[in-house]
Amino acid sequence: MNAAVSQPIVVRTTCPYCGVGCGVLAAPDGIGGASISGDPAHPANFGRLCSKGSALDETLALEQRLLHPMMRQADDSLVRVSWNIALDAVARRLRAIVDRDGPGAIAFYLSGQLLTEDYYVANKLMKGFIGSSNVDTNSRLCMASSVAGHKRAFGADTVPGIYRDIDEADLIVLVGSNAAWCHPVLYQRMIAARQRRGARLIVIDPRRTATAKDADLFLPIAPGMDSALFCGLLVALADAQALDHAFIDRHTTAFAEALGRARDIAADVAATARATALEAAAVGRFFELFRGTDRVVTCFSQGVNQSAQGTDKVNAIINVHLATGRIGRPGSAPLSLTGQPNAMGGREVGGLANQLAAHMGFSSAETDRVRRFWGAPRIAASEGLKAVDMFTAIERGTVKALWVMATNPAVSLPRAGTMRAALSKLELFVVSENVVSNDTVAAGAQVLLPAAAWGEKDGTVTNSERRISRQRAFLPAPGETRPDWWIVSEVARRLGFGAAFDYRRPADIFREHAALSAFENGGHRDFDIGALATLSDAAYDGLQPVMWPVRAGETQCERRFFATGDFFTPDHRARFVAPQAPRPHAATSDVFPLRLNTGRVRDQWHTMTRTAMSPRLCAHSPQPFVEIHPDDAQAAGLADGGLAKVTTQYGSATLKVFCHAGQQRGSIFAPIHWSDATATQARVCDLVAAATDPISGQPELKATPARVEPASFGYRGFALLRRPVTLPEGTWFARLAVTGGAGVLFATNEPPAMWHDLVRRLLPEGAELAAYSDRARGVGRFGFFRSGRFDGCFFIGPAHRPPQWDAMRSLFESGAVAAPARRIVFAGRDADATVEAGPLICACFGVRLSAIRDVVAAGGAASVADIGRALRAGTNCGSCLPELRDIVEGVAQSV
């Protein structure tokens, strides 16, 4: 028989999360889902995906999606409207505000999640046609200090190195980067380089992170002292005659000033050790390794950037690479790791308030050039408001209209609570979004515009090594969702600029973007993709990952910058920058004796609007937490696993306590992911000060004075339900996805007498209730059963001995018959056990902490490889390998 077997269609696309920019193969299943795997042909990941990328298939459901335009009514309700009504309203009200108050009263707040084409159109409308530069982006919170540092040193925002440098380095220095969790696939590449060629890994971070565990040398630096360390390194290299004077003389300026300032800050190893609170021997070892290794890559990320002195830190790092000529050669470069999938694309189009377009700024020659290219009638002539200033202007009432695209500033900005309150002052507040409700929408958005999401939209993104990749649609756009570029173009048309926004497809926009990059360039600007300006639609559809620059007439190649100078300054020489002496952060005090550092966890992304849909990803760190040194916890009366109230002068949050000796005394760490949509009282950015770097405008998110104290709740418990619920006011809770429904972990002071009422409200319609309660012990267990099957439950117990949910959760997730669940409700044996299965360590194979510990304790695994053989944990994406190593050594990092 010759029956034809149809092959599933496989679409090559790019991961929507971090700046590594991994290639993804998506095979749609025809019913709204897709199977996901890494693209072996993509040069960023060669087939690997981390836990987040691997779980993309669990994030495609439509339940939370905004599918139709909506407008807020006088009674505060949101009502579905047609696209025409919504777009007309946006254009009409924008026009009225511009006519009355001028273009400076309008602001766009964009996102590193947008595609380059979306970004380009939004930036062009605002800067070229509305006439305001108030276009900023959440990338301001992520890597603006790297941009500013690059521009100061190189004359342009140029990333000199490429990922292949990591493969070819003999020393990899990670500064302020928990790459094992935040750039996992690139991190696995670093580990591979270590195994293959013996490259050594140095990690510089105040926290002993998952990344630090793999380091050959870990430097637990005092918070904020990175530039002192690199100043000390510059001095040490100079004193050891280890500088490349030929490179310095031929290709740079201002070296003497930089070295002089470095001597003032950190004159020798001892002074460096004092400034950084590191052991002198460790400082000396770092200096020695750097001096003695020709091929060095220094990777830096948010620990450097998210600082009120972030730009100086970046330049202190770049200084040592310039001074030793370790730049632009194989295995030698400073390499900024961008956080977001298209932070780099946003920089290319000019999506920051201090850029105009295509790596051009606001000089009169540049504005004139872009004006002529765009045919722009009222091009903005100067920089606009950066993110924090933009929201402060909203607070003051000088910005009256805001359009937010693809981001959630009500959660992620510093002083987020205050910023959120300020949004109510806006006359016009437009949000283009994927989800029907997030904290920014809930803050009073007046017009909601449903945007196409990952898997539905089509365009390009650029990763940390300047590689442009296609994000391709593999699912139909649901409901009335539209691409962001279409939405912006329709508003532009209604404002009377239709001729300049007459795009029919993303390829039209990309060609224009590429042509602008090459327009009157002549090799003077780093960003030039002129060779792509004439791509046909078919060639754009089939575009392979390509690294810029790709100038017209040149063969495409992977180019490093600056090995032979040719910097983008007027004299083509790089600038050494003399950094300011590191300033103390806002002082701690008796009231706020600790310092709050913020960051991310392994399996969540930003404010969780996508990753919180995945049961696998929610299982690793199921609750918002604060990490604290055990001695500080004891001093504050906190118990590991208990709840703490964390307070700063800006607000407070209630978080689970995770005692960890890798946390420095005097510092605490809390992840930024949880919002009102996923938890209560857990918005960490509410607590963060809004001090910014004077050059980059990037806020300091890692050093706010804080205090901790026990959060007093009498009872804790969990609920498992088929539909998400909201628990009564006064209950602390975190929601998470579990297979087949929603889980809620909560704490309350509701007395046992009230529990039955609460449970009856949660009881699914038509379900039968089985209840056990022991008021004297403060224990309640309630099971919900329908048609002979287990349909959910509510378990509660005393706060010092909360019920464990592992047994009930696996029954719930498996859709089990009623009997075993009834046994646990009435006998309570599994639920009251003190040993829990623990967090999910290996997301790929669903392996939990207790299973791994059991194998190790039973002598079945003495190494990570043994664990892999016994349980498969760690044998796929590798994101959990640092934790597995930790468990083998007897210490668990996960919460």
Size of the site for ligand SF4 (CB under 6 A): 14
Cβ(782)–Cβ(769) below 8 Å: yes
Indicate the SS3 state at residue 794: strand
CB-wise, 45 or 432, nearer to ligand SF4? Answer: 45
Q: Tell the smallest beta-carbon distance from residue 612 to ligand SF4 (Å).
A: 15
Residue 849 near residue 838, CB atoms below 8 Å: yes
- Helix count and strand count (H, E) for the chain: 31, 34
- 172-191 residues in contact with ligand SF4 (CB under 6 A) are 183-185
Q: How far is the CB of 544 from ligand SF4 (least distance, A)?
A: 17
Question: How far is the C-alpha of 601 from the C-alpha of 19, rounded, in Å?
Answer: 16
- Between 318 and 546, name the residue whose CB sits nearer to ligand SF4: 546
Taking CB under 6 A as the criterion, the residue among 20, 343, 388, 596 binding ligand SF4 is: 20
- Count CB neighbours of 774 within 10 A: 12
Q: Can you list the positions of beta strands (E) in 619-697?
A: 625-628, 643-648, 651-659, 667-671
* Contacting range for ligand SF4; rule: CB under 6 A; set: 15-23, 374-382, 667-675, 681-689: 15-23
Strand-pairing partners, residue 79, are: 71
CB of 600 to ligand SF4, least distance (A): 11
Distances in whole angstroms, Cα of residue 154 to Cα of each of 320, 358, 399? 14, 16, 34
CB of 152 to ligand SF4, least distance (A): 28
- What does the buried/exposed string (b/e) look like for 270-294 if buried means 16 or more CB atoms within 10 Å of the residue's CB? ebbbebbebeeebbbbbbebbbebe
Residue 21 touches ligand SF4, criterion: CB under 6 A: yes
Query: Among residues 50 and 419, whose Cβ is nearest to ligand SF4?
Result: 50
Q: Nearest approach, Cβ of 14 to ligand SF4 (angstroms)? A: 8
Least distance from C-beta 614 to ligand SF4, angstroms? 12
Of 168, 207, 173, 175, nearest in space to 189 by CA: 168
x/- binding map, residues 30-49, to ligand SF4, per CB under 6 A? ---------------x---x
Report the residue from 12, 17, 419, 784 that binds ligand SF4 according to the rule CB under 6 A: 17
**Residues between 196 and 215 that touch ligand SF4 (CB under 6 A):** none
Binding segment toward ligand SF4, per CB under 6 A, in 18-26, 235-243, 663-671, 755-763? 18-26
Q: How far is the CB of 619 from ligand SF4 (least distance, A)?
A: 17
Least distance between ligand SF4 and beta carbon 545 (Å): 13
The least distance separating ligand SF4 from the CB of residue 876, rounded to whole angstroms, comes to 12
Site for ligand SF4 in 442-471 (CB under 6 A): none
DSSP per-residue string spanning 452-513: --TTT--EEEE-TTSEEEEE---SPPPTT-B-HHHHHHHHHIIIIIGGGG--SSHHHHHHHH
Min dist. Cβ of residue 112 to ligand SF4 (A):
12
- The one segment of 14-22, 138-146, 769-777, 855-863 that binds ligand SF4 by CB under 6 A: 14-22
Beta partners for 626?
657
Q: Minimum distance between the CB of residue 187 and ligand SF4, rounded to whole angstroms?
A: 8
Selection from 750, 712, 718 nearest residue 731 by Cα: 750
Q: Contacting ligand SF4 (CB under 6 A), which of 26, 34, 36, 50?
A: 50
Residue 18 binds ligand SF4 (CB under 6 A) = yes
Is the backbone peptide bond immediately before 549 cis, with ω within 30 degrees of 0? yes
DSSP 103-121: GGGEEEEE-TTS-HHHHHH
Candidates 16-24, 485-493, 519-527, 656-664: pick the segment binding ligand SF4 (CB under 6 A).
16-24
Q: Is 22 in the site for ligand SF4 (CB under 6 A)?
A: yes
* HSE, side-chain direction, 13 A CA sphere, residue 616: 16
Write the DSSP symbol of residue 685. Answer: G
Q: Tell me whether residue 738 or residue 843 sits nearer to ligand SF4 (CB atom).
A: 843
Q: Would the CA dihedral through 391, 392, 394, 398 be positive or negative?
A: negative
Query: Closest residue to ligand SF4, Cβ-based?
Result: 53
Taking the least distance from each CB to ligand SF4, the nearer of 50 and 453 is 50
Pick 223 or 874: Cβ nearer ligand SF4: 874
- Considering only residues 52-71, where is the footprint of ligand SF4 by CB under 6 A? 52-53
Q: Which residues make Cβ contacts (< 8 Å) with residue 492, sequence separation at least 6?
A: 121, 125, 129, 498, 500, 501
Name which of 611 and 675 has its Cβ closer to ligand SF4. 611
Nearest to ligand SF4 of 20, 423 (CB atom): 20
Residues 408, 410, 412: CA angle, nearest 5 degrees = 65
3-state secondary structure at position 612? helix
> Which residue, 183 or 735, is less far from ligand SF4 as judged by CB?
183
At 68, phi and psi to the nearest 5?
Answer: -140, 150
Closest to ligand SF4 by CB, 23 vs 176, is 23
3-class SS letters over 258-308: HHHHHHHHCCCHHHHHHHHCCCHHHHHHHHHHHHHCCCEEEEECHHHHCCC
For ligand SF4, the closer of residues 53 and 624 by Cβ is 53
Part of the chain binding ligand SF4 (CB under 6 A), chosen from 19-27, 240-248, 379-387, 500-508: 19-27
Site membership for ligand SF4, residue 344 (CB under 6 A): no
Binding to ligand SF4 by residue 519, rule CB under 6 A? no
Kindly state the smallest distance separating residue 21's Cβ from ligand SF4, in Å. Answer: 6
Residues that bind ligand SF4 (CB under 6 A): 15, 17-18, 20-22, 45, 49-50, 52-53, 183-185
